[in-house]
Amino acid sequence: MPPIDWSVLSGPHVSRRTMLKLAAATGATGFLARWPRRGVATATGPARAQGTQGGTLKLGYGIQQVLTLDPAQVTQGIVAGELVANLFSSLVQFDEKLGLVPDLAETWEVTPDGKQYTFKLRSGLTFHNGDPLVAQDVVYTHGRTTNADFASPHANKLASVSGITAPDELTVVITLNEPFAPFLATACSRGPGRALTPISKRAVEELGDDAFGLTPIGSGPFQIVPETAEVGKGFEMVAFEGWYGGRPLLDKIVVQLIPEPSSRVSALEAGDVDMLDIVPLSGVEQLRGNDDITLIEVPGTNWVGLTMNYKRPPFDKPEARMAVAKAIDRDDFIKKALFGLAVPSIGPIAPAFTAYYAPPEQVDNPQALNLDEAKELAERAGLAGTTVRLLATEETRPAEVLRNQLKDIGLEIQVEQLQNAAWNERWEAGDFDMLTNGSVVDADPDDGHWNFYHSEGPWNTYGYSNPKADELLEATRRTPDPAQRRQVFQELQAVLATDVAYAFLYHAPDITGFYNYVKGYPPIPEMRYLEKVSIEK
């Protein structure tokens, strides 16, 4: 899934007080039912939110710039999961255990061979501009996302679709040329699976793609106030009266972009904001000591690593990449760069995906710290005295820790700090020596694998290519059985670690913070569904 600089994330320890606050704060937790991958799923509709109607939530948001809010174009993971997910509903959504539950599709049926999906939409659905949302809008969205000229980075999630029809206004039939195990989660879900998030054709035609990305028309519980949108500052969302689940409890959400970590923490403690989307690592202990603030933490779907450009010396040599990987002391890195608030990573399978994840102590890790071997490999690769640039964004602490560690193998690193937009442009163009990157707000392990590691993946901008990795990636998509799929993912993870596709660093938990008067927040990993949140002052 989408890349992100993870230096703003925070840690894994939960106090007893936090757990008590969690029990009091979560309130209505939304759907808890689990639906089968195959067969029939049904629902009568979302439970009515319990809480006080009205009020404004001021949300402090830790990013410098929102590049786009168009579901088919957004590549910023936290934007997809925390902002797009409130502006746009999709066919299905998630419960707190990442189970799939109904959203716009009231029911769906999957044939036993996994090749055909039939969705029954709820009646009376509307977009924010008042247009009815019907099955043909899903067909239009498919054509838009897969249009080569539109160049959506999410088009690959629809590559196996051989046909999509709308037999009537409330029925969508999607046929695949082969089974695609994560189809519902990665192509049809609210937030991360945005390839088929229904788009208003009239809105796109009237606004154009660029303007639609800044002030989109969706069908989610909140709608954007166009005149409030300012690049680099934020925007306002107001409750959508026509949302199928009923009017959200909040009147308004004010999204305030506050990229500097200490400023974000200060804004919360001063009451300038009611909630932080993600608590900066540097502020975790400080906020834990504030009895007026609740911190909620769940396992993350993310992974973070150091990528080295295969297309540039010295990292065109496998010895150079492995020397770097073996020279990194991940425990020390987590302690110094992340305040001890993360867990070491041995690959891109994240802890939230319990059916697929294996703890580091259970897996043989070819990238494990071994400074003697690292120095030997560095000597063979001629790294001594070599200078490379490491791109970073607003928080340079992780880059500086890596720079200091890699001096031990003779590699000189210059940290180049960029604004988010410039960093993103350089990364997408493959114009870098090294950078820390990863995936966040993933609906399924496929999100954090295919885009980065398949030879044709849209975020494989660093030149990694291994036919074996491609073969395994394709097998994960064709394998519906979780136990068999886990074996394929574990084999793939071993290949990626041996190749040093990335020097894997850490997994961060998902942690958010808000005042105790904010109620009804559902702790879904790395997503913010806010329609049931209320202000109880």
Q: What digits encode the pLDDT tens for the residues 243-297?
A: 999 999 999 999 999 999 999 999 999 999 999 999 998 899 999 999 999 999 9
Close Cβ partners of 484 (under 8 Å, ≥ 6 residues apart):
none
CA 203: distance to chain centroid? 26
Whether 434 is in a domain gets the answer yes
Examine the domain organization and report whether 498 and 520 are in the same domain: no
Whether 288 is in a domain gets the answer no
Examine the domain organization and report whether 17 and 59 are in the same domain: yes
Examine the domain organization and report whether 241 and 364 are in the same domain: no
pLDDT of 1? 42
Share of the chain above pLDDT 70, in %: 91
Examine the domain organization and report whether 459 and 514 are in the same domain: no
Close Cβ partners of 104 (under 8 Å, ≥ 6 residues apart):
89, 90, 91, 121, 122, 125, 133, 198, 219, 244
CB 221 within 8 A of CB 243: yes
Examine the domain organization and report whether 12 and 88 are in the same domain: yes
What stretches of 27-98 adopt beta strand conformation (E)? 39-41, 56-61, 92-94
Whether 272 is in a domain gets the answer no
Whether 279 is in a domain gets the answer no
In total, how many domains does the chain have?
2
Question: Which tens digits make up the pLDDT trace of 379-403?
Answer: 999 999 999 999 998 789 999 999 9
Whether 286 is in a domain gets the answer no
Question: Which tens digits make up the pLDDT trace of 114-144?
Answer: 999 999 999 999 999 999 999 999 999 999 9
How many other CB atoms are found less than 10 A from the CB of residue 387? Answer: 9
Question: Which tens digits make up the pLDDT trace of 66-111?
Answer: 999 999 999 898 999 999 999 999 999 999 999 999 999 999 999 9
CB 239 within 8 A of CB 54: no
Whether 287 is in a domain gets the answer no
Examine the domain organization and report whether 232 and 158 are in the same domain: yes
pLDDT of 363? 92
Examine the domain organization and report whether 428 and 448 are in the same domain: yes
Please name the helix (run of DSSP H) or strand (run of DSSP E) that holds residue 413, with its range, or none: strand 412-417
Please name the helix (run of DSSP H) or strand (run of DSSP E) that holds residue 482, with its range, or none: helix 482-499
Looking at every residue in the chain, the average pLDDT score rounds to: 90
Question: Which tens digits make up the pLDDT trace of 476-534?
Answer: 999 989 999 999 999 999 999 999 999 999 999 999 999 999 999 999 999 999 999 99
Whether 133 is in a domain gets the answer yes
CATH of the domain at 207: 3.40.190.10
- For residue 500, give its domain range: 303-507
Instruction: Provide mean pLDDT across the span 186-200.
Output: 96
Examine the domain organization and report whether 424 and 356 are in the same domain: yes
Whether 264 is in a domain gets the answer no
Local confidence band at 420 (pLDDT 50, 70, 90 cut-offs): confident
Examine the domain organization and report whether 206 and 334 are in the same domain: no
The β-bridge partners of 389 are: 414
- Tokens linked to 281: 């690592």
CATH of the domain at 449: 3.10.105.10
pTM here is 0.84
Q: Using CA atoms, how far apart are residues 95 and 30, in angstroms rounded to an integer?
A: 7
Q: Using CA atoms, how far apart are residues 29 and 387, in angstroms rounded to an integer?
A: 51
More confident residue, 42 or 128: 128
Examine the domain organization and report whether 490 and 518 are in the same domain: no
Examine the domain organization and report whether 218 and 365 are in the same domain: no
Q: Using CA atoms, how far apart are residues 279 and 77, in angstroms rounded to an integer?
A: 16
